[in-house]
Amino acid sequence: MAIVDVSIIPVGTGNPSVSEYVAEVQKVLEKNADRVKYQLTPMNTIIEGDLPVILEVIQQMHEVPYTKGAQRVATTIRIDDRRDKVSTMEKKLNSVRSKL
Query: Taking all residues of the chain, what is their mean pLDDT, rounded to a whole number?
Result: 95
Question: According to the model, what pLDDT value does residue 16 have?
Answer: 87
Domains parsed from the chain with CATH numbers: 2-97 (3.30.70.930)
d(Cα 25, Cα 57) in Å, to the nearest integer?
A: 10
The predicted-structure confidence for 12-49, as pLDDT tens digits, reads as follows 888 888 999 999 999 999 999 999 999 999 999 999 99
Question: According to the model, what pLDDT value does residue 47 have?
Answer: 98
Q: Give the β-pairing of 2-11 and 72-81.
A: antiparallel
What is the model's pTM?
0.91
Q: Is 24 exposed, middle or buried (0-12, 13-18, 19+ CB in 10 A)?
A: middle
76 near 13, Cβ under 8 Å?
no
Q: In what order do the strands lie in the sheet with 45-49?
A: 37-40, 45-49, 2-11, 72-81
